[in-house]
Amino acid sequence: MLFKLLRQEQRDDLIFTMLSKTSYPGWGYMKENDATTLWEMWEKNLPGHSLLHSSFLFPGAWFIEGLAGIKKDRPGFSDIIIKQPYLGAHQLEWVKASFEAPSGLIETRWQRNAG
C-alpha cells in the first residue's frame, strides 16, 4: 500500500530513499545481507518465515515505472507511456532498463547531462 500511495503522490524521492537505504530496516539492507529474494520478515534467517512475499513486489514495479519511466497505458502494455524518470537530486547519473512485456521488448535509457 505504501509504495502505491507514494507513487500516486509522485513521491519518488521517498521511494528511492527507502529502496537505497542499506541499514536496517531499508530494502537495501536485504541486499546487503545476501538476499536473493525479498524477505517476508526484515530479520534474516528466522525459522518458519517465507523468504518471498508478494506484498513486497511493488518495489520491483517501481524500478520499471519510477526509474525506467515505462508505464502501461492499457493492459498487457499494448499501449505505453514513456515518462522522464526520477533521477534523484544528483544521486543517479543514468538509468538503463529493459522489460519484456506481453506486447514485446520495451527499453529506455536515461542520462543526466550538465545537471
The per-residue pLDDT for range 21-42, each reduced to its tens digit, is 888 767 777 778 777 666 666 6
Asked whether the predicted pLDDT for residue 10 surpasses 70, the reply is yes
Contact 98, 107 (CB under 8 A): yes
Whole-number Å distance between alpha carbons of 36 and 10: 28
The full set of domain ranges for the chain reads 2-111
Contact 83, 106 (CB under 8 A): no
Quick check: pTM over 0.85?
A: no
In the DSSP assignment, the letter for residue 82 is E
Whole-number Å distance between alpha carbons of 82 and 70: 5
Which amino acid type is present at position 113? N
In the DSSP assignment, the letter for residue 114 is -
- Sequence-distant (6+) residues with CB within 8 A of 71 are 65, 80, 81, 82, 83
